[in-house]
Structure 1
Amino acid sequence: MLIKNSLDEMEKREISLKVIKSIIEKKGRDCLYDLTGLSGGFLATQEELDLLETYIGPAIFEEKLQVLGKNHLGGEKIFAVNRTSSGILATILSIVEKDSFVVHFLPEFPAHPSIPRSCALVGANYLEFDDIDKFISIFPDNVSLVIITGSTMDHKILDEKSFKTVIDLANEKNISVLVDDASGARLRTAIFSQKKAIELGADLVVTSTDKLMNGPRGGLMAGKKDLINQIKTKAHQFGLEAQPPSILAMVKGLENYNENDLKKSLNKKDELMELLANDFKMFEKTPTGVMVSEDNLKNEIINHFKKDNTHDYGKILDKFSNKDLCFIWAMLLLKEEGIVTIPAVSMPGASATVRFDLAAVDAERIDVDIIFNKIKNSFESLLSVINDEKLAKDTIFTFD
């Protein structure tokens, strides 16, 4: 196993950032393709940038954010935090009592690690479910908060029926509901025509302003005014609130968001999937692209080794975890092909699924057949690299 802990993941991320900087310096930004779907952006005029002072910035831009945020998410009040995880933490610090339960329903395991980690900080008991019948039958007493994930880290979407069932049960018991709709606030509504979380009856919702929209890495909360005020007060005590530059960038991102941009990715996704299906079995469609899970990548590697009569493939693969394989491939995609995927640059604890998001801004600059060739070339490199454990380790942890 190469990646053993969070420190290893952080080191991997730092190497990736050095590689990205090197590519841009040597070849230019046009030779780098960010297909994470998390690329975000910072759109602003010079006049707006000149207003980014500590107190003037919020005075000017928070009012605009209230209007745009309510239009995007609904709710009585909007609050900007420096990350979605910050909003989740601030909510749990504000609402959840020690020894009480936080019950989380999501379409597919695992949960984003910020949720159980935040519960641990306040000494709360944490339960998570992906089966609605078990959620109903095991629902404990003394629940402080119900959390729903609208779209997982791998873009698995929760159906509206389950959404409503969870919210209705919480409402019956007078328990607040927070929806972690990091990408779901756009995926669910634009691609799956679902209602906004607030419209479905949630008390609170938080979304990521860099996921599938051209905004900064930050979080935007909406919900009932009294709850938002309570969370906002707690967030300011711990420095979890967004700062003026991020607030401006959120305003500009929301102003420029157009759900039709997401819908345009659907045809391109189908074209890429058709090409990939001729050479690979490991790819699955996502709402806006394609992805490869940890298990599917390992199985694909095994199948290729069998075709090549590599009899010692078991001995080769015993050296690596499934996550390692995803990290190695992601680093090869970056170093050799200039494609940025989440496992290369992700924070510790994030999903290792390798995803190619065709709703990303950079996807507009690159043809589907070029993406296919880059995927194919990097996979062939992966098969070669994992034959040498030192070379595999250097691929992740070494910057040339």
Structure 2
Amino acid sequence: MELVEIGGDRDWQAALTKAKPNLVVVTTVTSALELLDDTVTSAVVKATHAVGAIAFVDDAYGARLRPVLHGGKPGLALGADLAITNCDKAGLAGPRAGVLAGRPNLVTAASAKGAEFGMEARAPIAAGAMRSLQAFRPEDLREEARSGQALAVALAEKLGRDLVVVSDLGPMVDEQDVLAVVLRRAGRSAEGLGLVPCEVSSALGMVLLRDAGILTVNTHGQPGARVSLRLKPTLDAIGRVGGQDAVVAAVDTALDHLASRIDDVSAISQLVLGDQT
């Protein structure tokens, strides 16, 4: 079927009227933690219902981040027919599983289709998801946000405030900027470089994992995940790797390590992919 994708700051009303969809998915918070205002979400939901379509709120981060950190409303309170979140982001400890809520007939239909694809949550996963939700404390998320933002400020002091984005949950450095920092430290331009930004940011993730035990999307994300450096520490994670200064030092040392090897494509390849022989 046709997919029409449009930003919340664009003329989504015209796109909605023209497309005449059966389903409208509203992503409230992106993986880069860009936030869609509740008034926009609510307006899209109302317009969706007006054309007879199902409103599905993708609330992976937003289910907790919006109400707890920004005073927003839950997805279903915004009028959504279905809302989904997951159990390993923004104050929840896992497992890696989705939680779907909404109109009973639609939840039942989605559950049946998931079972057809072998994607249903078996009993241990369902129990783990329930325990994760039961253990959720808004203050834990607020503490994660405070520690992540403090880490972002410290990393910005080290790398430059123009490079580090301070998000709700921690620092983010675009892959283009990661490459620029490495090239600057290597004292060379991008001319003749045998690497692209995502390879350098992936290598950075591998060094952080190998030398400091820091997990990032760069090493553990699924295909299609963002390739920028994003640090979103869970509760007590910073302390487990030695504190905020240790994390900043690990990133700084990893960048120096890559700078010293930036012209050795085979070394970077082995770092990212392992021994392929």
Same fold (TM over 0.5): yes
Distance in 1 (CA, whole Å) between partners of 2:182 and 2:115 is 48
TM-score under structure 1 normalisation? Answer: 0.64
Matches within 5 A, 1:50-129: 124-129=1-6
Confirm or deny: 8 A CA contact 1:331 1:395 kept in the other structure.
yes
Confirm or deny: 8 A CA contact 2:149 2:167 kept in the other structure.
no
Whether 1:388 aligns to 2:264 is yes
Confirm or deny: 8 A CA contact 2:140 2:235 kept in the other structure.
no
Distance in 2 (CA, whole Å) between partners of 1:370 and 1:287 is 21
Whether 1:227 aligns to 2:96 is no
User: Alpha-carbon deviations, 1:198-230, whole Å to 9, x = none?
Assistant: 001111011111113012011110000111122
Distance in 1 (CA, whole Å) between partners of 2:131 and 2:208 is 31
Whether 1:353 aligns to 2:231 is no
Whether 1:134 aligns to 2:15 is no
Distance in 1 (CA, whole Å) between partners of 2:261 and 2:64 is 38
Range moving further from structure 2, 271-280 or 380-389: 271-280
**Which residue of structure 2 aligns with residue 300 of structure 1?**
181
User: Alpha-carbon deviations, 1:299-332, whole Å to 9, x = none?
Assistant: 3334444xxxx34x2235x322221121111111
**Aligned pair partner of 1:320 in 195, 198, 210:** 195
User: Alpha-carbon deviations, 1:79-98, whole Å to 9, x = none?
Assistant: xxxxxxxxxxxxxxxxxxxx
Identify if the C-alpha distance between structure 1 residues 270 and 254 changes in structure 2 by more than 3 Å, giving closer, same or farther.
closer
Q: For residue 390 of structure 1, what is the amino acid of its counterpart?
A: S
**Which residue of structure 1 aligns with residue 219 of structure 2?**
344
Confirm or deny: 8 A CA contact 2:201 2:228 kept in the other structure.
yes
SS of the residue 2:76 aligns to = coil
Sequence identity of aligned pairs in percent? 24
Per the TM alignment, residue 249 of structure 1 is displaced from its structure 2 partner at its CA by 0.4
Matches within 5 A, 1:175-324: 175-212=53-90, 213-281=92-160, 282-305=163-186, 310-311=187-188, 313-315=189-191, 318-324=193-199
Distance in 1 (CA, whole Å) between partners of 2:64 and 2:203 is 30
Per the TM alignment, residue 134 of structure 1 is displaced from its structure 2 partner at its CA by 2.4
SS of the residue 2:4 aligns to = strand
Per the TM alignment, residue 364 of structure 1 is displaced from its structure 2 partner at its CA by 4.1
Distance in 2 (CA, whole Å) between partners of 1:304 and 1:270 is 26
Distance in 2 (CA, whole Å) between partners of 1:379 and 1:391 is 15
Distance in 2 (CA, whole Å) between partners of 1:161 and 1:210 is 27
Confirm or deny: 8 A CA contact 1:144 1:176 kept in the other structure.
yes
Per the TM alignment, residue 253 of structure 1 is displaced from its structure 2 partner at its CA by 0.5
Per the TM alignment, residue 125 of structure 1 is displaced from its structure 2 partner at its CA by 0.1
Q: For residue 99 of structure 2, what is the amino acid of its counterpart?
A: L
Distance in 2 (CA, whole Å) between partners of 1:342 and 1:391 is 21
TM-score under structure 2 normalisation? Answer: 0.91
Per the TM alignment, residue 399 of structure 1 is displaced from its structure 2 partner at its CA by 6.0
Identify if the C-alpha distance between structure 1 residues 345 and 270 changes in structure 2 by more than 3 Å, giving closer, same or farther.
closer
**Aligned pair partner of 2:250 in 342, 353, 374:** 374
Distance in 2 (CA, whole Å) between partners of 1:396 and 1:145 is 39
Confirm or deny: 8 A CA contact 1:289 1:359 kept in the other structure.
no
Per the TM alignment, residue 256 of structure 1 is displaced from its structure 2 partner at its CA by 0.8
Distance in 2 (CA, whole Å) between partners of 1:158 and 1:131 is 7
Identify if the C-alpha distance between structure 1 residues 388 and 264 changes in structure 2 by more than 3 Å, giving closer, same or farther.
same
Structure 1: gaps spanning 5 or more residues: 1-123
**Which residue of structure 1 aligns with residue 40 of structure 2?**
162
Confirm or deny: 8 A CA contact 2:164 2:172 kept in the other structure.
yes
User: Alpha-carbon deviations, 1:63-93, whole Å to 9, x = none?
Assistant: xxxxxxxxxxxxxxxxxxxxxxxxxxxxxxx
Q: For residue 75 of structure 2, what is the amino acid of its counterpart?
A: A
Distance in 2 (CA, whole Å) between partners of 1:134 and 1:385 is 47
Per the TM alignment, residue 135 of structure 1 is displaced from its structure 2 partner at its CA by 1.3
Per the TM alignment, residue 165 of structure 1 is displaced from its structure 2 partner at its CA by 1.8
